[in-house]
A and B are shown apart, each in its own frame.
Chain A
Amino acid sequence: MSTRLDVKKTYKLYIGGKFPRSESGRYLPAKSASGEHLDNYAHASRKDFRDAVVAARAAFDGWAKASAYNRGQILYRAAEMLQNREGELLNELARSTGVSPAKAKREVTLAIDRLVHFAGWTDKYPQVFGSVNPVASSHFNFSTPEPTGVVVVLAPDEPSLLALVSLIAPVILSGNAVIVVSSEKFPLPAVTFTEILATSDLPGGVASARNSRRTSPATWM
């Protein structure tokens, strides 16, 4: 009898709430810290990046106009989903980065806490950072923070999940749409995280993820 071959998953991109394959048709092998071949992931091209920018721009309007309370709810919901699918991420972290289960657990737990922390800021940061300015005429004068638009986040290699979450949360909480270039060395936890985000009420396009060599998006932008 022949031995069974494991099915190697091919992780896809996450753009505009969908999981497309790369337009380039190219894939890269994802390796564990010890160099073992784990799975494959789509190698995002310049066109994929442009698609993500277009999707993010389209999603930005609705997300920026959502009430602060609603954005908080949605970020909190993402934390709930993360909690719910903790096991999947623990496994992903442990096998890609080779950290101990205890360390992986700490990272995922902290990532959840970060989301909850920043979810709380959605309806508080305008009070803290905005101001009523004294002016010489009979006017009220207010300065209020508004989201800037489409933001690209470059995530570091380690800690691949925690850093990613901690970088995204403060960007999207104010109403920005984000495009993440995930860790080049350990992309799998990031992709699993997008699979979780897709189920958490976050409007499609608010967060997009792409994986490729970090230096190439730098030249495209």
Chain B
Amino acid sequence: MDVNAIVDGSGDAETGTKLQAGTAINLKRYAKRSLATAEWFSDKVEDPYWILDTVEFKTAWHPIGL
């Protein structure tokens, strides 16, 4: 379906494999967040790099002095 990315926090290996196989065909991104229950309570989750998994970079050129 018309989905751009999946963030998989389910920690379920079987689903993960199936999704990753699917991303090869129709999805752009697959990000895995496999954390133990206790880890969800730690600072590890306040990770700004998680933002990067669902952004794309756009590069713009702009002439100088015009």
Contacts and interface: CB of A to CB of B under 8 A. Distances in A.
Interface string A182-208: 000000000000000000000000000
Given A142-B60, A151-B4, A221-B19, A176 B54 contact: yes
Contact of A142 (B12, B19, B28, B62): B62
A36 interface: no
A214 B51 CA distance: 24
A96 B46 CA distance: 26
Contacts, number: 156
B41 A151 contact: no
Interface string B22-66: 100011110001010100110001111011111111111111110
Contact of A152 (B5, B56, B61): B5
Interface of B: 1-12, 14-15, 18-19, 22, 26-29, 33, 35, 37, 40-41, 45-48, 50-65
Given A140-B62, A162-B40, 19 more contacts: A57-B2, A139-B62, A140-B61, A142-B62, A143-B58, A143-B59, A145-B56, A146-B57, A148-B5, A152-B5, A153-B6, A154-B12, A166-B40, A174-B51, A179-B3, A215-B14, A221-B6, A221-B19, A221-B22
